[in-house]
Chain A
Amino acid sequence: MTATPAAGPPRFAMRGIRKAFGATVALAGVDLSVSEGEICGLIGQNGAGKSTLMSVLSGALQPDAGEMWIGGQPFTPHSPLDARRAGVAMIYQELSLAPHLSVMENIMMGAEPMRFGLLDWARMREMAAEALAALGHTDIPPGAIVGTLSVAAQQIVEIARAIAVGSRVLVLDEPTSSLGRVDVQHLFDLLRHLKAQGHAIVYISHFIEEVKTVADRFIVLRDGRNAGGGDTASATHDDIVALMVGQSVSNLFPRSSRSRGDAILDVNALEPGSASFTLHRGEIFGIAGVLGSGRTHLLRTLFGLEPVRSGRVRVGVYSGVARPHQRWIQGMGLLSEDRKEEGLALTLDVADNVTMSKLSPFGPAGLLFPARQRGAAARWISELAIKCAGPAQKAGELSGGNQQKVAIARLLHHDVDILVLDEPTRGIDVGSKAQIYKLIDALVADAPGHKPRAVLMVSSYLPELLGLCDRIAVMQRGRLGDAVPANSLTEHELLVAVTGGTAA
């Protein structure tokens, strides 16, 4: 059944793709190709360069160097529209459908059949039905409103659109993240069906088992390079993990002497998240898990941004549910994973961003003296070496790394005991990363004169968790596992734990 790709030229190929953002090299020469009737799996850890590669392929980013071909013709998209016209169809995790329109309108969007200058609805229904039938999904009525369909059915509508507009390369990015087990099986059947029809498919996933199940061939990306690849039939789970991990970079992570103090956060059977753990002063507790595993939701629930369904949370001497305002007062602060949408107010200045959770020191009775506010911000600007024109500069004008430091400075300005850090180094340069690692380590280190703090952190970047944390628990499909001492784990074991158990 597994048709080995023909010896002919690949349907799609990219060679030597390079892309740098300032000093950060995201892609350092990547090769990828996929032939007719072939499914190629693309695997890599977070930060390995998968999303940048996809942006290049979809035309959203232009590579600094390298070449791409479709059907033997050079392919140089300058925009996502260019790439779509050339026949590259991207199916993202977040589906791009118009939920208020019907299935047929969505499928034929941009290629609506016309008759005498008017929409030809009969023909549209017919063409949409054909596209769905080609996928073996006559169960989806062309007239149904997309928003009323299940996520799995919506995904099929999106794939049908890609097929209907004559796409030559189909790229699926983490397509199973919001699907149930049965739907995943249906999706795999559909992909095999498309493969048999001669479509060329790139399948991106965190989940090694999925790639092994559905793909013919796989390519592993690591640090923006091809780390290896081969036939999925002959490679074991362990082989692939070994390619993903590479050698570790332990010297990046400082480790001062730490001593575990009082229990300061006690979580008992918390739902959602099935979480039970205790966090102590002088300790960094890590939560590992892939995107969509529920780790961010767990942190937000702890912080009072999402409702608690059941279970108990005790923060210091306080117990019971609380809203963010109370959590701050109780000495807990959250660093959001989404710096631009939630972490910072980009149109406000650095001083406002650093001090917003606690403006009370800047004047009596609701008053606020801007000079004092800027003075407080200036202190953190110098302590964290934030590169900016001053406390009055708009946060949106800073680089990613410096924005992140501003967001962290808020927790320090508030002087919280528990720092809840969601992806503290996402999307920032290596230099800033090293500074943030040092800072996190210093927060929990033994120091004369003040009690060490406690850190609860989530990261997709496993070396970071292994390098910084004292204990690590794995979150998978909405459930938090037991905590394990970090020094008893290898990156390999952790990666297996994070990515495993999802074979469809």
Chain B
Amino acid sequence: MTTRSLVERAGTFVGLVLVAIIFGLLVGPQFFAPTNLELMARQMAIVSIAAVGMTIVIVSGGIDLSVGSMIALCTVVIAQLLRMGVSPLFSALGAIATAALCGFVNGVLITQLRVVPFIVTLGTMLIIRGAAKGLGEERRIEAPQTWLNDLLRVTRGEALVPSGIWAVIALSILVALVLRYTRFGRHVFAIGSNERMARLCGVAITRTKIIVYALSAAFVGFAGLLQFSKLSVGDPTVAVGLELDVIAAVIIGGGSLSGGRGTVAGTLIGAAIMTVIQIGCSQKGLANWIQQIVTGCIIVAAVALDRIRSQSGGV
């Protein structure tokens, strides 16, 4: 890690500390109580894991607007599979596979039709949402209680952190490692930074991009699993607009929509900043509209600060 990227990450981290201090002062010391921190971790788990996947897409210079719809589809798929008597584990895997398939289709459409990712995933956002509603017959699907409902809940005695959060942490570390310690990871950065150079260097652009969208969608599938766990039903209307929170987390965390930049650690900090604002506002008793205005300001400020930072870096 260079000192430069350390500074870049620290910048976002400083932002998180500032936001936390401000709400700590507003709300009081109980804001930092372990139970409150755990509440925040649970709150941010769904956006975080989807945003970790989105980090790969954004580093490659793309974007995926269909993640909210994918999450809804996943909750419906799990509920339907459970009702059909499929075991909880295979229901969960089925949902993740469904999401990965959606991502695969996104990747194929983007690379084969040569339509920009924004448009393709704007279309699939509607298609997948429609599919979720069709599969869920336009209503909530009740499902039998299983251990899938406990992923974001503490069940065994003293364990403070639920298993779903451990999984988010483990998967985040995995993605960070893939981006840094595999050839695939470096190819993703190369495509995002300069696709023409990647082509010149013989990088398999089509294949890499399809893998990027499918892999990222698999993480969205996991987010869908957590969403189901929280709801305990399949809901085709859940997570509308969530893709914007997911993208915002990546951007606040230093990802660039023009590609080639972004880190998993930054993304997680970005998700944490948004969560601290949400929880802080609601615990302070501030209305939802204030939350939204504050979050919006943070997004613009984060990107503006980032721009100033990279300019002073002497590029």
Contact = CB atoms under 8 A, between A and B. Distances in A.
A, B co-complexed: yes
B202 A325 contact: yes
Contacts of B204: 325
A341, A353, A356, A359 pick with most chain B CB within 10 angstroms: A356
Interface residues of B, number: 28
Contacts of A109: none
A422 B143 CA distance: 64
A346 B194 contact: yes
Question: Main secondary structure on chain B at its contact with chain A?
Answer: helix
A343 B202 contact: no
A79 to B, nearest CB: 19
B184 A323 contact: no
A345 B181 contact: no
B198 A341 contact: no
Contacts of B184: 366
A344, A347, A367 pick with most chain B CB within 10 angstroms: A347
B129 interface: no
A392 B180 CA distance: 13
Interface in A130-175: none
B183 A360 contact: yes
A121 interface: no
A305 B186 CA distance: 21
Interface string A355-376: 0110110110011111000000
Interface string A381-393: 0000000000011
A357 B204 CA distance: 11
B199 interface: yes
B201 interface: yes
B133 interface: no
Contacts of B261: 347
Contacts, number: 94
Interface in B260-281: 260-261
B291 interface: no
Nearest to B180: A370
Nearest to B183: A359
B200 A368 contact: no
Nearest to A370: B180
B203 A356 contact: yes
Interface string B293-315: 00000000000000000000111
A356 B198 contact: yes
A359 B184 CA distance: 10
B183, B199, B200 pick with most chain A CB within 10 angstroms: B200
Contacts of A312: none
A305 B183 contact: no
Contact of B183 (A366, A394, A410): A366
A325 B201 CA distance: 7
Contacts of A370: 180-181
B196 interface: yes
B1 to A, nearest CB: 8
Given A360-B183, A367-B181, A367-B182, A348 B199 contact: no
Contacts of B194: 341-342, 344-348
B190 interface: yes
A396 B315 contact: yes
B2 interface: yes
A397 interface: yes
Given A342-B197, A397-B314, A324 B202 contact: yes
Interface string B189-223: 11001101111111110000000000000000000
A328 B199 contact: no
B255 interface: no
Contacts of A342: 194, 196-197, 200
Interface in B1-36: 2, 4
B186 A356 contact: yes
A397 B315 contact: yes
Contacts of A396: 315
A334 interface: yes
A128 B203 CA distance: 49
A336 B181 CA distance: 28
B200 A334 contact: yes
A246 B28 CA distance: 80
Contacts of B189: 345, 348, 352
B186 A359 contact: yes
B202 A327 contact: yes
A368 B182 CA distance: 5
A356 to B, nearest CB: 4
B185 interface: yes
Given A342-B196, A345-B194, A367-B181, A357 B202 contact: yes
B48 to A, nearest CB: 25
A392 B2 contact: yes
A344 B197 contact: yes
Contact of A345 (B180, B182, B190, B202): B190
Contacts of A352: 186, 189-190
18 contacts: A305-B200, A324-B199, A324-B200, A336-B196, A336-B200, A341-B196, A342-B197, A342-B200, A343-B200, A347-B194, A348-B190, A362-B183, A367-B183, A368-B183, A369-B181, A392-B2, A396-B315, A397-B313
Closest 8 CB pairs of A and B: A325-B202, A345-B193, A345-B194, A357-B201, A342-B196, A356-B201, A392-B2, A359-B183
